[in-house]
A = this chain, B = another copy of it.
Amino acid sequence: MNRKVKLLDIAQALGVSTGTVHRALHNHHGVSPMTKARVLQMAKTLRYRPNLAARYLSSKRNLRISVNTLQGTTSFWDEVRAGIGEEARALVMENVEIEYRTYPRLGEGEEEAFEAALKAEVDGIITFPSRPQGLHSWMRRASRNSIPVVCVATDAPHTGRLAVVSIDTLASGSLAADLMGSLLRGNGKVAVTLSALAITEHAEKCKAFESTLRSLYPQMHVEEPIEDHDVESEAYQKCRELFSKHPDLSGVYVTTEASIPVLNAARDAQMLDRMTVITTDLFPALVPEIRSRAVAATIYQRPRTQGRMAFRVLHEFVMEGECPSYQVTLAPHLVMRGNLDFFLQRQSQESGTERSVRLQSTSSELTEYFG
C-alpha cells in the first residue's frame, strides 16, 4: 500500500497548484473547464480521497443544520431530537449548529418551517415530512439548491431528498402479523387501525400485516383498515362501531401512536380482555396498558436511533460528499411486559446527563446506542 495520495500529488502530476486542484474538486467558480476536467480525471485515476482530519482542521466554516420535526407532544419526537443531538456531539467536536424548528401538529406549519430553513441558508435539513404533498415543492427547491434533506420516520418520494431513515415497515407489519397469528393460534378475526391509507408508511405496515397474516395464517380474517386521521375521537368512534359490528373480533393491530383511544373503545365495549392488541411506539400512557396485559406487545420504533442515523447520514454527506446509504431501515424492537422495564430504564437513563469521564475529552452516551 503506497503512501496516501493527497492534493499535492495530483497537483504535481498535472503541473498545477493545490489551490487549483482544490477548487476543481469542489467545483468552485473560477476554474477553466479544461483544467477542471483534468483534475477530476487525475483524482479518479489516483484514487484520491480527502483527509478528513486535515479538512476539519483547516476549515473555518461551521455546519448549520435544521431539524424540522413535530413538537414534543409525544415522547417520540423528543427522542428523535435527543438522538440527533447525541450523534452530533459524538461525531464532531464543535462546528455544528443545530437549529430546531418544530410545528405543532401534523401538516401544520411544516411548510413554513421548511421555508424558514431554506431562507436561513442552512447546510442541511433533517425533517419529518408529515404531509409530503405539501412539502413537495419546497423539497424540490432544496434539491435544486443542493441542500441535502434527510427524512426521518416517513419518506417523501420524488422530492430529491438525500436519504430516508425509518423503521422497516415490512418487518413491523409482518412481525405484528406473525405474533398476532401465533397468539391467536391461527384463528379469528382481526383489524388494523392507521392514520390514513394515503400515508405510505402506514399503508405499507398495513399491507405487510395483511399479507403475512394471509400467507401464514390463512384461516384468519382481516377487516377493512380503520382510518383515524390522527384524531383521537375519530379513532375512538370508529373503533366502537367496529367492535359493535364485530363482537367476535379477537385482535387489533394499531400501526400508529394512537393506541389509547382504541384501548378505551375496547374497554368501553367490554371486549378488551378477550382481545389481543398489538400497538406501536412506547410512551408513558402505554406503560400501564402493557403491564396490565391490555396490550400484548408494542412495536418500538427506536426514535433515538432514528435521530442518530439521520444526523449521521447527513453529516457524512455534507462533510465527505458522499451518502453512505440512501435508505436506512431499522429493525423494530418488540416490547412485551417481560422486557418492558429494560426499555423504560434506557429511556430514563439517557435523559439524565450522567457521564463517566476518564481523562479529559468529549463524552458521548453510548449506552442506548443502537438501542
| Pairwise interchain contact B331-A44, C-beta atoms closer than 8 A | no
Within the complex, the shortest CB–CB distance from A287 to chain B, in Å, comes to 15
Asked whether any CB of chain B lies closer than 8 Å to the CB of A52, the reply is yes
Instruction: List residues 297-338 of chain A with CB under 8 A from any CB of chain B.
Output: 302, 305, 308-309, 312-313, 316-317, 320-331, 333-334, 336-338
Q: Which residues 16-66 of A have a CB within 8 angstroms of B?
A: 25, 43-44, 47-54, 56-57
Question: Cβ of A309 and Cβ of B361 under 8 Å apart?
Answer: no
Other-chain residue from B170, B177, B338, B364 in contact with A178 (beta carbon distance below 8 A): B338
By the criterion CB–CB under 8 Å, are A324 and B53 in contact? no
Bound-complex Cα distance A94 to B339 (A) = 40
Query: What's the number of copies of this chain in the assembled complex?
Result: 2
- In this assembly, does A366 line the interface, its C-beta being within 8 Å of a C-beta of chain B? yes
CA distance A353 to B170 in the complex (A): 24
The answer on a CB contact under 8 Å between A366 and B324 is yes
Decide if B179 touches A322 in the complex (CB within 8 Å): no
Q: Does A227 contact B (CB under 8 A)?
A: no
**A234-293, CB < 8 A from B:** none
Q: Mark A356-371, 1 if CB is under 8 A from B, else 0.
A: 1111111111110111
Q: Is the CB of A370 within 8 A of B367?
A: no
Given A168-B342, A361-B321, A367-B328, verify A334-B334 contact (CB < 8 Å): yes
A328–chain B nearest beta-carbon distance, Å: 6
Contacts of A363 in B (CB 8 A): 322, 324
Partner of A360, one of B44, B179, B331, B365: B44
Residues on the B chain within 8 Å of A337, using CB: 178, 216
Select which of B53, B296, B327, B338 is within 8 A of A175 by beta carbon.
Answer: B338
CA distance A320 to B361 in the complex (A): 6
Pairwise interchain contact B4-A358, C-beta atoms closer than 8 A: no
Q: Are B52 and A54 in contact (CB under 8 A)?
A: no
Q: How far is the CA of A171 from the CA of B341 in the complex (A)?
A: 8
Kindly state the interface size class of chain A when it binds its partner: 35 or more
What residues of B have a CB within 8 angstroms of the CB of A93 in the complex?
49, 51-53
Q: How far is B175's CA from A339's CA once the two chains are assembled, in angstroms?
A: 5
Residues of B contacting A177 with CB < 8 Å? 338
Partner of A370 from B212, B308, B316, B358 at Cβ < 8 Å = B308
Which residue of chain B is the closest to A217 with respect to CB atoms?
Answer: B338
Q: Does A174 contact B (CB under 8 A)?
A: yes
CB nearest neighbor in B for A306: B370
Most-contacted residue by chain B among A170, A176, A343, A360 (CB, 10 A): A360
Q: What are 26 pairs between A and B in contact, CB < 8 Å?
A: A47-B360, A48-B360, A49-B93, A49-B360, A51-B57, A90-B324, A170-B339, A170-B342, A175-B336, A176-B338, A177-B338, A181-B338, A182-B296, A183-B183, A302-B370, A309-B366, A309-B369, A316-B364, A321-B359, A322-B362, A323-B356, A325-B369, A328-B369, A331-B339, A331-B346, A333-B333
* Contacts beyond the supplied A178-B339, A321-B358: 17 A-B pairs with Cβ under 8 Å: A4-B94, A54-B57, A171-B339, A174-B338, A216-B338, A302-B370, A312-B369, A317-B358, A320-B359, A321-B359, A321-B360, A322-B359, A325-B356, A326-B356, A330-B370, A331-B343, A331-B346
